[in-house]
Amino acid sequence: MGNKIAIGIIGVGNMGTAHIKNIIGGKCTEFTVAAVADINPARLEAAKKLVPGAASFDDATEMLDSGKVNAAIIAVPHYFHPPLAIACMERGIHVMVEKPAGVYTKQVREMNAAAEKADVVFGMMFNQRTNHIYRKMKEIVDSGELGNMRRMSWIITDWYRPQAYFASAAWRATWNGEGGGALLNQCPHQLDLLQWICGLPVKVDAKLHFGKWRDIEVEDDVSAYMEFPNGATGTFITSTSETPGSNRLELTFDGGKLIAENDELTMWKLAQTEQEFSAVNTEPFGTPDVEMMKVETDGKSEQHAGVLNAFAGAILRGEPLIAGGEEGIRGLTLSNAMHLSAWLGKAVEIPFDEDLYLEELMKRADKGN
């Protein structure tokens, strides 16, 4: 193995297999796939064919105790992310967790507390943070070039899923298997980007429809309203049953606006802030001068391989991660708040009552048993 990191893949479904292919395909050269684990014999057999030299296990704990790995990727159903991450940490095994961090924030807090005590590298697979459009958007927002944010709006409906998708695995789209629908499965990257770029809101008022368009238990249609600490407002709209879908993130500021859509970032920059213009303007229908421009980016979006390469750099050389594992709770806080708001039929403030959230979730999970 030389100086390569011996990594184990826990869960070799779609994402676990994709990570294996990135490593054996030469995109992540500082890793070697030393072991794979899955409770599904067919998936385990398929993974063994991809990496014949890797040890295989039908129990993740046995893999972690085998001494064959010093790092792991967790790519299993959502409820198992925190307990398996904690199991890695307790054994001194570096760990990368697929999205979401978990199903409910109380569980993820336990994972984060374990991480504080463990001497391991802990990362989240937030590969969309490598996207050149969102990286540039965050850079502009953080620079203050456009002033304070006033409004954000994201419509993200370009992940159409037919009924066959939900029928492909028994755990999909169930409260006790997945812990949620679009917000837990499709949206974790967008909710992470939302808080990464805009910050966490302080209030959420959400309307969710459960099994509106598909024969499923969980949400497949979401419209959420948010309020941020500085008074800015926001909306987040998603569905898995619209085609053709949309993906448009629009941020409005005192000094202009940004729109990310169709793999382009466009900026409108006012000659003076809206407040400054309004204070001196004497024309009833006057508007400030504005310049529109396409924003140049570096064009790089390294995605999953980039996150894994940063994980290797953190382990071997102390380099920064794309997303630290402890950050996973922030996007999950947003989705939990949206669920809780819909269940209670009212707006909820962040931080919310995590015990109440868990109680409400378990009511629904128990019905699915």
Range of the domain at 285: 129-299+331-367
CATH code, 196: 3.30.360.10
Q: Domain check: are 315 and 352 in the same one?
A: no
Cα–Cα distance, 95 to 71 (Å, whole number): 6
Q: Domain check: are 139 and 286 in the same one?
A: yes
Q: Domain check: are 17 and 54 in the same one?
A: yes
pLDDT in tens, the chain (369 residues): 458 999 999 999 999 999 999 999 999 999 999 999 999 999 999 999 999 999 999 999 999 999 999 999 999 999 999 999 999 999 999 999 999 999 999 999 999 999 999 999 999 999 999 999 999 999 999 999 999 999 999 999 999 999 999 999 899 999 999 999 999 999 999 999 999 999 999 999 999 999 999 999 999 999 999 999 999 999 999 999 999 999 999 999 999 999 999 999 999 999 999 999 999 999 999 999 999 999 999 999 999 999 999 999 999 999 999 999 999 999 999 999 999 999 999 999 999 999 999 999 999 999 865
Location of structure tokens 């917000």: 183
Token couple for 101: 């961090």
The number of domains in the chain is 2
Q: Which sign, positive or negative, has the C-alpha torsion 91, 109, 104, 149?
A: negative
Q: Domain check: are 190 and 148 in the same one?
A: yes
Cα–Cα distance, 183 to 132 (Å, whole number): 23
Cα–Cα distance, 133 to 138 (Å, whole number): 9
**Secondary structure letter of residue 324 according to DSSP:** B
Beta carbons within 10 angstroms of residue 227's beta carbon: 17
H or E element in which residue 227 lies:
strand 219-227
Q: Domain check: are 40 and 114 in the same one?
A: yes
Q: Domain check: are 85 and 160 in the same one?
A: no
Cα–Cα distance, 249 to 260 (Å, whole number): 5
Model-level pTM? Answer: 0.96
Cα–Cα distance, 121 to 137 (Å, whole number): 27
Cα–Cα distance, 63 to 68 (Å, whole number): 7
Q: Where are the alpha helices (DSSP H) in 118-216?
A: 132-143, 163-166, 182-185, 188-198
CATH code, 60: 3.40.50.720
Q: Domain check: are 213 and 224 in the same one?
A: yes
